[in-house]
Amino acid sequence: MLIDKKHIGMKVPPHSVTPTAWQLKWFAKATGETNPIYFDDAAAAQAGLPGVLVPPTFFFCMDMDKDHPFDYLETMGCDLGKMLHGEQSFVYHKPVHAGEKLDFDGVITDIYDKKNGALQFVVKDVKVRRQGELVCDVHSVMVIRA
Amino acid sequence: MTKPNYDALNVGDAIPSFTTEPVSRLTLALYATGSGDHHPLHLDQDYVRSKGIPDVFAHGMLGMAYLGRLLTQWVPQAAIRSFGVRFTAITQVGERMVCTGKVVEKLEHAGEKCVRLELTCANEQGEAKHKADAVVALA
């Protein structure tokens, strides 16, 4: 069944995340990061940063950091078991550090299909703000297989 | 870190590449903790077999994180203007990820001198897992 395009423009329930040095330490370990500004408070302070630096792709992790990260697909009646991550992109405006509270405010910007509906695409664009200032745009394309 | 110089770079120039350690089950467990993504497809062999899939496989965003590291090893993170990836294939346990990038365009973007990079995360057999694109500001 094709997803109803009436959902284009739907707002995603907003959420807020404060990245922690603890989680960023594990992220750095998992991804083989060796630059201590990404996992060591003292090194970040020495580099003049207010906290360890949030790495480029961690904005996706924070966007997913909510009880039901794919709530918007559930609202559309999608089977999450048939979901794939198709594309992911970011536009960066300001650096972000551990301890800074971020607000995630998303909207569904497109829904389309290919191969006669065998693949459906749901596009979500999220504005990430710190105290009202835009720090990052997060653009995600999820694919739902028939 | 010596910052790359805009004038000295040409279209086609490669940026320093690296090859990761083989992606292990431990890597996936660590990434689950670091990312908060504990989907059983990446962690629980009993679950994936029940779905007819032979083994757990890597989070797509792990590969994008490797490509992010490729960028931040080349320039300070604050120089990255945009970064996007298309996921083209699944990364299996045991594969090493070969992360490479090259300059494909020199451009002015919002009054800044920038280069556009094409980045690839592939296995050692050359199968591309992720193809990415980034715009980086250079002095």
CATH code, B95:
3.10.129.10
- Mean pLDDT on B114-120: 98
Size of interface A-B (CB pairs under 8 A): 99
> In this model, does residue B85 exceed pLDDT 90?
yes
Minimum distance, in Å, between the CA of residue A43 and any CA atom of chain B:
15
Q: Mean pLDDT over all residues of chain A? A: 96
Instruction: For residue B20, list chain A residues with Cβ-Cβ distance below 8 A.
Output: 32
Nearest-by-Cβ selection for A27 from B34, B66, B78: B34
Q: Which of residues 35-94 of B touch A (CB under 8 A)?
A: 35-37, 51, 60-62, 64-66, 68-69, 71-73, 77-78, 80-87
**Residue B28 and residue A36: Cα distance in Å, rounded?**
21
8-state DSSP, A10: P
Q: Which residues of B touch A64 (CB under 8 A)?
A: 35-37
Q: Is residue B78 part of a domain?
A: yes
Domains of chain B: total: 1
Domain membership flag for residue A93: yes
Residue B133 lies in a domain: yes
Whether A124 is covered by a domain: the verdict is yes
In a domain, B52, yes or no: yes
Instruction: Confirm whether A33 is domain-assigned.
Output: no
Q: Which residue of A has its CA nearest to B62?
A: A31
Q: What percentage of chain B reaches a pLDDT higher than 90?
A: 91
Distance of residue B88 Cα from the nearest chain A Cα, in angstroms: 8
| Cβ contact A30–B21 (<8 Å) | no
**Chain A residues whose beta carbon lies within 8 Å of the beta carbon of residue B85:** 87-89
| Dihedral, B89, A39, B25, B121 alpha carbons, nearest 10 | 20
Report yes or no: B45 and B108 within 8 Å, Cβ to Cβ.
no
How buried is B43 (Cβ within 10 angstroms: 0-12 exposed, 13-18 middle, 19+ buried)? Answer: middle
| Angle (nearest 5°) at CA A70 between A85 and A2 | 75
Q: Is residue A24 part of a domain?
A: no
* Residue of B48, B83, B130 to mutate for A, most A C-beta atoms under 10 A: B83
Phi/psi of residue A102, nearest 5 degrees: -120, 140
B124 in a structural domain: yes
**Domain limits for position A104:** 5-17+68-145
Give the domain extent around B93: 14-137
Three-state secondary structure call for residue A104: strand
- Residue B119 within a domain: yes
User: Which chain A residues are Cβ-neighbours of B84 within 8 angstroms?
Assistant: 87-90, 139
Mean of pLDDT values over A113-135: 97
Name the band, by pLDDT with cuts 50, 70 and 90, for residue B31: very high
Q: How confident is the model at residue B2 (pLDDT cuts 50, 70, 90)?
A: low
Rounded to the nearest angstrom, the gap between the alpha carbon of residue A48 and the centroid of all alpha carbons in its chain is 26
Q: What is the CATH number of the domain that holds A136?
A: 3.10.129.10
Beta carbons within 8 Å of A6's beta carbon, 6+ residues apart:
none
Res B28 pLDDT > 70? yes
Inter-chain touch A92–B82, beta carbons under 8 Å: yes
* Span A45-62, pLDDT tens digits: 999 999 999 999 999 999
B9 is a domain residue: no
Residue B4 within any structural domain of the chain: no
Q: Which residue of A has its CA nearest to B24?
A: A30
Residue B60 domain flag = yes
Q: What is the pLDDT of residues A60-114, one digit of tens each?
A: 999 999 999 999 999 999 988 889 999 999 999 999 999 999 999 999 999 999 9
Query: Rounded to whole angstroms, what are the CA distances from A76 to A6, A73, B35?
Result: 10, 5, 25
Quick one: which H or E segment has residue A119? Answer: strand A119-130
Number of domains in chain A: 1
Cα within 13 Å of Cα(B112), Cβ side: 13
For residue B97, the chain A residue with the least C-alpha distance is A31
Question: Which of B26, B61, B90, B129 is most worth mutating to test chain A (most A CB atoms within 10 A of its CB)?
Answer: B61
Beta bridge partners of B23: none
Residue A138 predicted with pLDDT over 60: yes
